[in-house]
Chains A and B, each alone.
Chain A
């Protein structure tokens, strides 16, 4: 029983990070109406950037957030401005191809720059265990969970309570009308991409103390984030948070009780089961799903 509880807690910690990746993806979905196939690769970019700062400059991963966050924010803006923005009126298929191309590019850029081997950041404090009520969690995982959760909640606050959030919500609802009443739509697209991508990058930083980086690591995160979004409902941020936590637990349970090699298979199985039982997501999605091709 203790063992089960231990596994669930470990999964929950991981799920926090998945939620962080997924809310970013969901934000980009909702606002820019683009399905970012390269989202996982941007998590990977955050991982490699953190690893590089650590191995070349001995920078503590958590300190490197000061660099990773703005760099990834700018990366998001650049991607929107130079790659996605010219595709805004294209068909969904073409948008897939563009982000898919970006994903292939980034994967192989990583292979070329860093090689195929695992790049890990091992630093003492993050590997020590915190024991509470017979359950032990490493500080690295705990920090990742706490920071991720804080950022997800900060995004909730931004979306619900600030003017920027109101505008972003307006764009989620109806971008044509938003444009008509004088909202500088393109500027807010940039903001949404910047926020979404920087959250992915931060997730990469948070996870690197216990998950090594390698060129194909991103594919896993893209799949996870998509399943979370389908699970939680498109455009539903709270759904993404809960979906992320559920998936983290499912994955860790599958890894512990079935086989570590089959974690991803379990995630896919959950995806198929959700599609059979509740294709609109557990908590329901927005009515604008059709625009990105989900019905």
Chain B
């Protein structure tokens, strides 16, 4: 991941740009918008995993974003575009509650705190009726036009979502290659060592939390406008917006740049298909499959698809160049699945020197 090969950026972007010109089917476009939203949230989620932190709290930021734009629009008449801006700010402020567990706790305890935060916000959203309209939720008015991000066709939604998602990916790439990203990846490998070198790890981790939360808030806000309705059980749903992005990330490859994108593109249509297939009497079966997939995936390919591809590419490369890179997978025999990030960190260290 040292160099970003341009064809890998230009070709998918070009395909995404012209896709709606050929595919005019509204359901296809709907699924595409969902993919874009999930790609954005997963990419945002992934910024925290650069630092080796696993968050299951992104439904909280998503929900805060969704509620911010809806409340401002419906109750205060604020234009949705400004609302999205406010959503980013409020989601980042809302994430500050998690700063305390983030800096005090490591690993599973932080993850649980994030999951609990989602549940707490869901309960608060149901309870605080004067502000959030309670479990009834808020419906945004159908006034159409670009100024209100409300259209009859799905095509404009697609392009706006694409803009947001590309921006998210660009920010993610930029962070990954910036000093912050370098520090984050170092923290993922050995936080104590990094701190001993004089890096303020708490500031680094806090930065990733704020950026990640703000970005997620933007997608929550866009999704609220796209669906026209927000309600506590959907917008603050841990399954939909915390576990799903994490699942996308782990399937694609946690902490890698391409992983979340690959994961979201594969998992979103699959999830929609499962949801439609198992509805009514067999409700719940789709998420049972999710749970099972999660268990199986971490056992079979803890590095995710991207790491899998890379391993294949390495093997092919080694066959051609005569084993000069054969040493690298040696660390992998230790069986630490976080090697994907660690291997990259090794790269990053070399780069740093």
Residues of the B chain whose Cβ atoms lie less than 8 Å from the Cβ of A112: 282-285, 288
> Residue A90 contacts which of B105, B286, B336 (CB distance < 8 angstroms)?
B336
Most buried by B among A93, A111, A219: A93
Taking a contact as CB atoms under 8 Å apart, the answer to whether B108 and A90 are in contact is no
- What is the distance, in angstroms, from B122's C-beta to the closest C-beta of chain A? 9
Given the complex of chains A and B, what is the CA–CA distance between A110 and B285 in angstroms?
10
Taking a contact as CB atoms under 8 Å apart, the answer to whether B291 and A261 are in contact is no
> Residue B298 contacts which of A101, A109, A259, A265 (CB distance < 8 angstroms)?
A101
**Residues A88-136 near B (CB distance < 8 A):** 89-98, 100-112, 116
Given the complex of chains A and B, what is the CA–CA distance between A152 and B123 in angstroms?
31
A222 on the B face (CB < 8 A)? yes
- What is the distance, in angstroms, from A115's C-beta to the closest C-beta of chain B? 8
Cβ proximity bits A204-238 to B, threshold 8 Å, 1 near / 0 not? 00000000000100010011001000100000000
Which single residue of chain B is at the shortest CB-CB distance from A89?
Answer: B335
Residues of the A chain whose Cβ atoms lie less than 8 Å from the Cβ of B111: 96
B109 on the A face (CB < 8 A)? yes
> Residue A226 contacts which of B109, B246, B250, B295 (CB distance < 8 angstroms)?
B109
Which single residue of chain B is at the shortest CB-CB distance from A114?
Answer: B284
Given the complex of chains A and B, what is the CA–CA distance between A83 and B115 in angstroms?
22
Which single residue of chain A is at the shortest CB-CB distance from B105?
Answer: A294
A262 on the B face (CB < 8 A)? yes
Taking a contact as CB atoms under 8 Å apart, the answer to whether A92 and B108 are in contact is yes
Interface size class of B (residues with CB under 8 A): 35 or more
Taking a contact as CB atoms under 8 Å apart, the answer to whether B294 and A100 are in contact is yes
- Interface of B, secondary structure class, is helix
Taking a contact as CB atoms under 8 Å apart, the answer to whether B298 and A262 are in contact is no
Cβ proximity bits A251-295 to B, threshold 8 Å, 1 near / 0 not? 000000001011011001001100110010000000000101111
- What is the distance, in angstroms, from B307's C-beta to the closest C-beta of chain A? 13
Residues of the A chain whose Cβ atoms lie less than 8 Å from the Cβ of B291: 101-108
B82 on the A face (CB < 8 A)? no
Taking a contact as CB atoms under 8 Å apart, the answer to whether A230 and B109 are in contact is yes
> Residue B294 contacts which of A98, A110, A219, A290 (CB distance < 8 angstroms)?
A98
Taking a contact as CB atoms under 8 Å apart, the answer to whether B54 and A272 are in contact is no
A-B contacts, CB under 8 A, total: 160
**Residues B259-316 near A (CB distance < 8 A):** 282-288, 290-295, 297-299, 302
Taking a contact as CB atoms under 8 Å apart, the answer to whether B112 and A37 are in contact is yes
Taking a contact as CB atoms under 8 Å apart, the answer to whether B100 and A275 are in contact is yes
Residues of the B chain whose Cβ atoms lie less than 8 Å from the Cβ of A93: 52, 54, 107, 254, 337-338
B204 on the A face (CB < 8 A)? no
Taking a contact as CB atoms under 8 Å apart, the answer to whether A294 and B120 are in contact is no
Taking a contact as CB atoms under 8 Å apart, the answer to whether A102 and B112 are in contact is no
Given the complex of chains A and B, what is the CA–CA distance between A154 and B41 in angstroms?
47
Given the complex of chains A and B, what is the CA–CA distance between A264 and B118 in angstroms?
11
Given the complex of chains A and B, what is the CA–CA distance between A295 and B103 in angstroms?
10
Which single residue of chain A is at the shortest CB-CB distance from B101?
Answer: A275
Taking a contact as CB atoms under 8 Å apart, the answer to whether A264 and B120 are in contact is yes
> Residue A261 contacts which of B108, B127, B254, B337 (CB distance < 8 angstroms)?
B127
Taking a contact as CB atoms under 8 Å apart, the answer to whether A111 and B284 are in contact is yes
- What is the distance, in angstroms, from A279's C-beta to the closest C-beta of chain B? 4
> Residue A294 contacts which of B100, B109, B239 (CB distance < 8 angstroms)?
B109
Taking a contact as CB atoms under 8 Å apart, the answer to whether B108 and A293 are in contact is yes
Which single residue of chain A is at the shortest CB-CB distance from B117?
Answer: A268
- What is the distance, in angstroms, from A282's C-beta to the closest C-beta of chain B? 14
Residues of the A chain whose Cβ atoms lie less than 8 Å from the Cβ of B243: 100, 104
Taking a contact as CB atoms under 8 Å apart, the answer to whether A295 and B337 are in contact is no
Given contacts A94-B298, A223-B119, A265-B124, is CB(A104)–CB(B239) below 8 Å? Answer: yes
Which single residue of chain A is at the shortest CB-CB distance from B108?
Answer: A35
Taking a contact as CB atoms under 8 Å apart, the answer to whether B100 and A92 are in contact is no
Taking a contact as CB atoms under 8 Å apart, the answer to whether B338 and A91 are in contact is yes
B74 on the A face (CB < 8 A)? no
A182 on the B face (CB < 8 A)? no
B104 on the A face (CB < 8 A)? yes
> Residue B109 contacts which of A101, A262, A293 (CB distance < 8 angstroms)?
A293
B173 on the A face (CB < 8 A)? no
- What is the distance, in angstroms, from B120's C-beta to the closest C-beta of chain A? 5
B113 on the A face (CB < 8 A)? yes
Given the complex of chains A and B, what is the CA–CA distance between A121 and B202 in angstroms?
49
Taking a contact as CB atoms under 8 Å apart, the answer to whether A272 and B101 are in contact is yes
Taking a contact as CB atoms under 8 Å apart, the answer to whether B298 and A293 are in contact is no
B56 on the A face (CB < 8 A)? yes
- What is the distance, in angstroms, from A31's C-beta to the closest C-beta of chain B? 16
**Contacts from B to A (Cβ < 8 Å):** 52, 54, 56, 97, 100-101, 104-109, 111-113, 115-117, 119-120, 123-124, 126-127, 238-239, 243, 246, 250, 254, 282-288, 290-295, 297-299, 302, 334-338
Chain A to chain B: the 9 pairs with minimum beta-carbon distance, closest first? A293-B107, A105-B291, A101-B294, A111-B284, A104-B291, A35-B108, A112-B284, A108-B284, A101-B295
Query: Known pairs A89-B335, A91-B302, A264-B123. 12 more at Cβ < 8 A?
Result: A89-B336, A90-B302, A93-B338, A95-B108, A98-B294, A102-B291, A109-B288, A111-B283, A116-B283, A223-B116, A293-B105, A293-B106
Q: Can you list 6 residue pairs at the A/B interface with Cβ under 8 Å?
A: A93-B54, A93-B337, A101-B294, A102-B295, A104-B290, A108-B290
